Amino acid sequence: MKPFSLKRLFTNNDKAAKERRRNPRSAEGYDFTILIVDDSRTAVATFTKMLTQAGFKTLSAIDGQAGVTAAIEYSPDLILMDVVMPGLNGFQATRQIRKNDSTAHIPIIIISGEQQATEQFWGKRVGASAFLTKPVDRRQLFKEVFEILDKKSAAQ
């Protein structure tokens, strides 16, 4: 048995170092762009930081109408859509995106502060691919993102 040493306690042991992520970060990043549509600058900054650290490219829009416009202009691979926004709300924006032939294929994850079943029902009814509640669990967000993007990649 080796004698106790503080140096060994704090050195990185390759055998002990394991990847904790289910989907490890890509060294060169992912070739996916995610549009974040939320009227809260804090939420946009938080999602942007999480997604860019994971290797995704991000775009943002501050309300529903700007989100619809950005979806048409940039054709992102995925949209994170808030529900309660001034002007065009998330349900209305999702409906417009689904009705437009150039954007109907884009998966949308609706993110809401409400946990009511009616919100989830309307989210699915207007064409959302998934529904998450705020505060968003990071693990659940990435699980949904990777599942949707894996399905999208397999379909192409």
Q: Is 13 part of any domain?
A: no
Q: How confident is the model at residue 113 (pLDDT cuts 50, 70, 90)?
A: confident
Q: What percent of the chain has pLDDT over 70?
A: 81
Is the pTM value of this prediction over 0.85?
A: no
Q: For residues 118 and 54, which has the higher predicted lDDT (pLDDT)?
A: 54
Instruction: List, for residues 43-54, the tens digit of each pLDDT value.
Output: 999 999 999 999
Q: Is 100 part of any domain?
A: yes
First and final C-alpha spacing in the chain: 56
Q: Is 64 part of any domain?
A: no
In this prediction, residue 13 carries a pLDDT of 52
Q: How many CB atoms lie within 10 A of CB 135?
A: 10
Q: For residue 127, what are the domain limits? A: 90-112+122-133+147-156
Q: How confident is the model at residue 152 (pLDDT cuts 50, 70, 90)?
A: confident
Q: Is 108 part of any domain?
A: yes
Q: What domain count does the chain have?
A: 1
Question: Is the preceding omega at residue 135 within 30 degrees of 0, hence cis?
Answer: yes
Per-chain mean pLDDT for the chain:
86
